[in-house]
Amino acid sequence: MKCEQYQDLFTDYINKQLPAADKAAFEQHIAACPACAKELKAFQQVWDVLGEVTIPEPSADMPMRFNAMLANYKASVTEEVSVWDKLKGQWQQLWQWQPRWPMAYNLAILVVGLSAGFWFLNGNKNADSEKMKTLAAEVHELKQSVMLSLLENPSASERIRGVSYTSEIKHADKEVIDALFATLNNDPNVNVRLSTLDALAGLANHPEVRQGLVQSISQQDSPLLQSAIADVMLKLQEKSSVGSFRELLKQKNLDKGVKQKISKTISKLI
Amino acid sequence: MLTDNAIMLKVKEGDLDRMGLLFERYHRQLYGFLFHMTYKKELAEDMVQHTFYKMLKYRNSFTGTGEFVHWMYTVARNVLKDEYKKMKRAQLHDDVDNISDILPGGVHTGDMYDKKEAARGLHKAMEKLSDEQREILTMSRFQELKHQEIAEILNMTEGAVKVRVHRAMQELKSIYTKMES
Ligand SMILES: [Zn+2]
């Protein structure tokens, strides 16, 4: 072979891709030919220096960006799936958010609205109406969860917002009622307690709510609350509250105005 | 551990989340390739995302007869082609002067300094290669792909790859030598 032909093998040799059979002959020639040896050395240098070139570290947020892209892509793919399944998917997402995101409540209302519209347009499908019922039940559950989480919010206005959701819960269960009473009896903010009293008055058709309100009378130390609770009892004509009011009257530091109001309330109840 | 191909076939069947595994395995390697082809960190990163996006979108074109990696490079090269169309090469390489950022750090003395200087020069020489030559050299030198693998990705014979890698090396060496003198 001529020198030129050996030189065509330089890259393969450096790259360790030269077959063993050719390698022996190649090395033999290099050992015997100073010109090729010199040229090979130059090639080797270029190859080695190329290896010194490093690249900047890729950004650490690359996996995060990938995940976002994947989520986006998946969302676009589900459009091919039925509208119903899509709604259901969004719904499940909301469900995962709700403990931390009171906003999910509003979104839930939106989803229900959309679903209702969808259901209306396809109203003849029994299967969908079954699904609507399930969804409605789930929304109801969500409303409750949002409300409960709002009641634990450090901001008083958020707690008031949570309390106000009570009016949208048709069938408040024990968990909701207990949470409202815990707020009524322990919340440090008078305004929150007043709104809670208002919300509970709206649930007075539940016997345990009436009972709880009566028990709460002795726990209130704010004149505003004491007076408001007297109004509620009068409105509800809750005669069983009389005993609690009499107890309250025994308190030494009771506000004068409240004292008068309670006495009046008792006389109207009996 | 599942092979790349097994994972990609699951993705093809609709288990899209599994693409995350392949991203974990290959995003750095792919970034390295795309960086050498553009010398722009952010652009290279964007193109990695774009390549993975295209692999999701065109997952049905993965047959499983070849290696996943080869298919990945094929998709990446298409992304690259689109990008080249979008930008003129001049613009693409306008920040080559920031080359010191991409060279190994170290003390400016003795051998280290020389190597750094040499790498700086070589990098500039790489710039002057044609896209095709830079690509094949990048695959061979930086991605450490075998000739047979490159042949599969570039859809040519192994012999043709051999010749091209060698020609790219010759060209690089000659550009480099001219720059040095
Ligand atoms: Zn020779």
Q: Is residue B55 pLDDT above 60, yes or no?
A: yes
Instruction: Name the nearest CA neighbour of B54 among B29, B32, B80.
Output: B80
Compute the mean pLDDT over every residue in chain B, rounded to the nearest whole number: 82
Confidence label for B59 from pLDDT (cuts 50, 70 and 90): very high
Q: Is residue B97 pLDDT above 70, yes or no?
A: no
Q: What is the pLDDT of residue A119?
A: 56
Q: Is residue B166 pLDDT above 70, yes or no?
A: yes
Please give the Cα distance from A173 to A163 (Å, whole number). Answer: 14
Higher per-residue confidence, B86 vs A159: A159
Instruction: Name the nearest CA neighbour of B138 among B69, B48, B40, B37.
Output: B37
pLDDT string in tens for chain A (270-residue length): 789 889 888 988 988 888 888 899 999 999 999 999 999 998 898 888 888 777 889 998 899 999 999 988 888 776 555 455 555 555 555 555 444 455 555 666 666 666 666 555 554 445 555 666 666 676 667 777 777 878 888 788 878 888 887 777 767 788 888 889 989 988 888 888 988 998 888 888 888 888 899 888 888 888 888 888 998 898 888 888 898 888 888 888 888 888 888 898 999 888
Token digits of residue A140: 């109801």
Tell me which residues of chain B, numbers 36 to 75, contact chain A at a CB-CB cutoff of 8 Å: 36, 41, 44-45, 48-49, 52-53, 56-57
Where exactly does CATH 1.10.10.10 map onto chain B? Answer: 99-181
CATH label, B99-181, candidates 1.20.1300.10, 1.10.10.10, 1.10.599.10, 2.170.120.20: 1.10.10.10
Give B175 Cα–ligand 1 centroid separation in angstroms: 22
The nearest CA of chain B is from the CA of A4 a distance in Å of 12
Q: Is residue B109 pLDDT above 60, yes or no?
A: no
CATH number of B1-95: 1.10.1740.10
Give A25 Cα–ligand 1 centroid separation in angstroms: 12
Confidence label for B95 from pLDDT (cuts 50, 70 and 90): very low
Please give the Cα distance from A230 to A70 (Å, whole number). Answer: 59
CB pairs under 8 A between A and B: 107
Q: What is the pLDDT of residue B107?
A: 32
Give A167 Cα–ligand 1 centroid separation in angstroms: 95
All residues of chain A having their beta carbon less than 8 Å from the beta carbon of residue B23 are 63, 66
The nearest CA of chain B is from the CA of A5 a distance in Å of 12
pLDDT digits (tens, 9 = 90+) for A108-141: 666 666 666 655 555 444 555 566 666 667 666 7
Are A133 and A141 in contact by the 8 Å Cβ rule? The answer is no
Task: State whether B56 and A70 contact (CB < 8 Å).
Answer: yes
